[in-house]
Structure 1
Amino acid sequence: MSPSAVIFTVLAYIAVLFVVAWFSGRRTDNAGFFTGNRRTPWYMAALAMIGAAMSGVTFISVPGSVAADSFSYMQMVAGFTVGQLIVAFGLVPMFYRLKVVSLYQYLDERFGIVSHRAGACFFILSKMLGAALRVYVVCAVMQLLVFEPCGLPFWSNAVVTVALVWLYTQQGGVKSLIWTDALKTLCLVGSLVLTIVFVARALGFDGGGLVREVSASPMSQVFFFDDPSSDRYFWKMFVAGIVVLVAMTGLDQDMMQCNLSCRTPRDARRNIILTALCQIVVILLFLVLGVLLYLYVGRAGLALPPKSDQLFSLVAVDGGLPGAVGVVFVLGLVSSTYSAAGSAMTALTTSCTVDLLDGPARYDERRLTRVRRRVHLAMAACMTLVILGVGYLADDNAINLFFRIVSYTYGPILGLFLFGIFSRCRPRDRWVPLAALAGPVLSALLQHVAADCWSYRIGFELLVYNALFVIAGLFLLSVGRKDADNVAEKS
């Protein structure tokens, strides 16, 4: 696939994206930017969320992971489904009742302003690192396909990508993201299905042959119950999936701002349940595609790439398949990236403006708009810098690196919310950041000791230990309600 064909495909998608963003985001006020005015039909939110849950990391990394991890990721997806139900019936009613713009306003009401800002800071760190990794994975592919053949450095790649994301999100916010994410879902799922069809035909499989070959492959093993110390052990991945979903969706401003844009809690629940069911099917298709890609590489005599993340792009672009495969690959990749980066940038802007600057309470509508736009530009600049920095750390399968980052940065957020919801204790607000910082440090120490002394590898369930350490710290910092009230009155 030539660089000119890639450029044409990217520009065509971006043109459609900007048209959709302009029509959906025109005349948007600050409430529309932050919450979509809470008027989104539930079926549109569901269509948007199917794609929003996927990213360029999923598109690139999941198919390549089957050689090392088989279909073990489906064990985590089973946990995701349970986690979605917890979010739908546990967290959604609470957030609607509190009428929050940012989720972390709950921490202000429950603990105090210091806890509120601590939770927001951990979210901003988590989302910035996660979004930068997602965009970096795609920038690395675009560097090989377009920028390197044109003699352009990687930094120009990152700047152009983030600048385009900033342009199409700076006006409409959540109100336009619903529609652009829906477009992304259609492009992503369409690209996935078409690629499976093209690769299966190249291998000579009909529908029944595809199912037989994938089922017979050792790479299609789903359940792993034999080795509790393994990262792929069922109960570790299942429990981690529940916790990761609750933390990354239910307590994530990026994901929940779409859910909370629905008119009622009932509509939000419908959206979440439909998203959970569709997510199972889509991720299974990504894993099936991975098996087909490895079978194709073996039969075509192609050399395996040095990184599993490069497998999909190798086969789609340089694997001898029809040019249409390269086009749908680039379309799915670009659509997933721009959507994920756009929603992340909007959520970062919302959290910084509402949680750290207290914008809605301090400024009138006109001044708030100016502040919001400046924050949005600053978030774009920060994301560009972090993307360049992530390049030095991306030496692992991207999906694994992503969940490693999540395990450290979302732990304090999960611990704060769990403690607030299930405990009546009230910690000393000014010391809460210390407990939040102790969680990642102690969980990293535990991970090292477990591997060194007991030969036990802590995988994605590290997030659970992280949150437990934070909860323990909050208990140590707590005083009884009566004492807390006395302290508040004296101060």
Structure 2
Amino acid sequence: MSPVILFSLVIVYFLLLLGVAWFTSRNANNESFFIGNRGSNWMLVAFGMIGTSLSGVTFVSVPGTVGIESFTYFQIVIGNLVGYGVVAFVLLPIYYRLQLTSIYNYLQGRLGFLSYKTGASFFILSRTLGATARLYLVVNVLHLTILQDFGMPFWVGAFVILLMILLYTFEGGVKTIVWTDMLQTACMLIGLVVCVVYILSDLGLSLEAGTKALADKGYSNIFITDPASKYFFVKQIVAGAFISITMTGMDQEMMQKNISVRTLKDSQKNMMTFAVIFMLVVLLFLFLGGLLHLFAESKGIAARGDALFPTIALEYMPGAVSIIFIIALISALFPSADGAITALTSSFCIDILGIQRDASLDDKKRKRIRQIVHLVFAAVFLLFVMAFKWMNNPSMIGLILKIAGYTYGPLLGLFAFGILTKRTVNDKLVPLVVIAAPAICFIIDAYQQHIFGGFQIGLELLFINGLLTFLGLCMIPARKVQP
């Protein structure tokens, strides 16, 4: 497939996004940018959240892991369903009752101002690292398949893509993203289905025969019953539950879309609808991964891991399917990056700078500050994407989940302490606890063979991190009441 044709399609797709952005951002203000004027349709939010949660990492990396890990990733997804239930029926009622714009305001009312700032800071760190890792993966695929043929350096391609994202999110924010995410999720799922149908057809298999072929190869094995393995099903399901509680329910990016829905009941319907569809879509991605490995074996293709799907789609499929793959890949890229930059801008402006609390600022000045912060985060994203390019990790999904274990753990501990206990704390000591917990986890992870022998710690590091934070907060003296 000609890189010129593929590049032209990218431009046409971007122009379509700009058209949607123009239509949705008319008369937009800060309230539109931060929370969509609390008028988002729950069905649109639920559908768009699929694209945000899956991202380019799922699109490329999850199918690539099937050759080594079979369908064991689905154990995490089962746990995700449990976690989404907690988000819907425990966290969302709190956020709606308090009418929050930033969910970290909950920590201020419950624990104190420094706890609030600390929680928001950990979100900013977590989302910056996670979103830029996702962004790097897809930018790298686009660079290898299109941009390098134009002699374009990697950093220029990353800059251009971030500029595209800035242009269509700059005014409308969440109000625009709800619609663009819906469009992009649809394109991504169409690409997924087309690729599955094509590979089944090329291999001469029906859906039933394809399922049997994967089972015969051992690719469709889901549950690992060895307690010592890091893929042990109990560990993975528990980890999956806590991953969705923290990376969705305690994440401003995911929650600002949910709390932009008109009512709590609609937001809960949105969350649980999304949870069920998400499970089915990930299962289809895993099925595709198994088919890709069967296809690679039949054609003698050496590519594995993150390189497997792009190699097959662009070198071994017809041009029309390659085009659909590229559009789907871009559609997987934008929802994770646009929402992240918007959420980070919102959190930094509201939580760190406090522009909503500053009575000396009028709406025009608040908007100006928000736009400057938006531009700064785009520059930060570019720097982190270049850092991940230098690291060149072969499987980004494992790296992203590892990062989440360290950075979302303190958020889990803070929210759990606030919800499950009625104690107050000396707010000044909270930052020390939330820094110490990840540091201890790093030591545990680095020396786990010496500590646990053959027992392996995997994704449950997130739970351990949250538990250490929770216990540390329990040890802090209660806040002294001023006479």
TM-score by length of 1: 0.96
Give the aligned partner of residue 348 of structure 1.
344
CA displacement at 1:332 relative to structure 2:
1.0
CA displacement at 1:182 relative to structure 2:
0.3
CA distance in 2, matches of 1:452, 1:197: 48
Matching of residue 436 in structure 1 with residue 434 in structure 2: yes
Q: Which amino acid aligns with 1:445?
A: I
Matching of residue 489 in structure 1 with residue 476 in structure 2: no
Give the aligned partner of residue 468 of structure 1.
467
CA displacement at 1:488 relative to structure 2:
4.0
Give the aligned partner of residue 362 of structure 2.
364
Which of 318, 321, 324 is matched with 2:315 structurally?
318
Give the aligned partner of residue 236 of structure 2.
237
Give the aligned partner of residue 149 of structure 1.
149
Deviations 1:191-216 (A, max 9, x none): 10011011111111123322322333
CA displacement at 1:443 relative to structure 2:
0.8
Give the aligned partner of residue 257 of structure 1.
256
CA distance in 1, matches of 2:149, 2:450: 45
Give the aligned partner of residue 266 of structure 2.
267
Q: What secondary structure does 1:55 align onto? A: helix
CA contact (8 A) 1:394 1:401 kept: no
CA distance in 2, matches of 1:392, 1:122: 24
Which of 311, 335, 339 is matched with 1:339 structurally?
335
CA distance in 1, matches of 2:388, 2:476: 35
Give the aligned partner of residue 43 of structure 1.
43
CA distance in 2, matches of 1:143, 1:179: 27
Give the aligned partner of residue 448 of structure 1.
446
Give the aligned partner of residue 294 of structure 1.
293
CA distance in 2, matches of 1:379, 1:50: 24
CA distance in 2, matches of 1:257, 1:394: 32
CA distance in 1, matches of 2:471, 2:391: 31
CA distance in 1, matches of 2:165, 2:369: 19
Give the aligned partner of residue 115 of structure 1.
115
What does 1:66-105 align with in structure 2 at a 5 Å threshold?
A: 66-105=66-105
CA displacement at 1:396 relative to structure 2:
3.7
CA distance in 2, matches of 1:176, 1:478: 45
CA displacement at 1:455 relative to structure 2:
3.0
Deviations 1:276-318 (A, max 9, x none): 110111000100101111111111122234xx00100000001
CA displacement at 1:392 relative to structure 2:
2.6
Q: Using the aligned pairs only, state the percent identity.
A: 40
User: C-alpha root-mean-square deviation of aligned residues, in Å?
Assistant: 1.2
Q: Which amino acid aligns with 1:214?
A: L
CA displacement at 1:462 relative to structure 2:
0.3
CA contact (8 A) 1:214 1:292 kept: yes
Q: What secondary structure does 2:224 align onto? A: coil
Worse-matched range after superposition: 253-262 or 358-367: 358-367
TM-score by length of 2: 0.97
Q: Which amino acid aligns with 1:448?
A: A
CA displacement at 1:217 relative to structure 2:
2.7
Q: What secondary structure does 2:390 align onto? A: coil
CA displacement at 1:229 relative to structure 2:
2.0
CA distance in 2, matches of 1:426, 1:446: 29
Q: Which amino acid aligns with 2:378?
A: A
CA contact (8 A) 1:220 1:291 kept: yes
Q: Which amino acid aligns with 1:99?
A: Q
Unaligned segments of structure 2, at least 5 residues: none
CA distance in 1, matches of 2:374, 2:219: 43
CA displacement at 1:142 relative to structure 2:
1.1
Q: Which amino acid aligns with 1:391?
A: K
Q: What secondary structure does 1:59 align onto? A: helix
CA distance in 2, matches of 1:328, 1:36: 31
Q: Which amino acid aligns with 1:310?
A: A
Deviations 1:381-420 (A, max 9, x none): 1111111112233424111011001000001111100011
What does 1:189-228 align with in structure 2 at a 5 Å threshold?
A: 189-225=189-225, 227-228=226-227
CA contact (8 A) 1:425 1:478 kept: no
Give the aligned partner of residue 282 of structure 1.
281
Q: What secondary structure does 1:426 align onto? A: coil
CA contact (8 A) 1:77 1:238 kept: yes
Q: What secondary structure does 1:360 align onto? A: coil
CA distance in 2, matches of 1:131, 1:268: 24
Deviations 1:420-477 (A, max 9, x none): 1111121211111110001110111112232234232211110000011111111111
Q: Which amino acid aligns with 1:337?
A: L
Matching of residue 131 in structure 1 with residue 124 in structure 2: no
CA contact (8 A) 1:79 1:242 kept: yes
Give the aligned partner of residue 306 of structure 2.
309
Worse-matched range after superposition: 110-119 or 87-96: 110-119
CA distance in 2, matches of 1:394, 1:438: 29
Give the aligned partner of residue 403 of structure 1.
401
CA contact (8 A) 1:447 1:457 kept: no
CA contact (8 A) 1:316 1:329 kept: yes
CA displacement at 1:66 relative to structure 2:
0.3
Q: What secondary structure does 2:151 align onto? A: coil
Q: What secondary structure does 1:358 align onto? A: coil
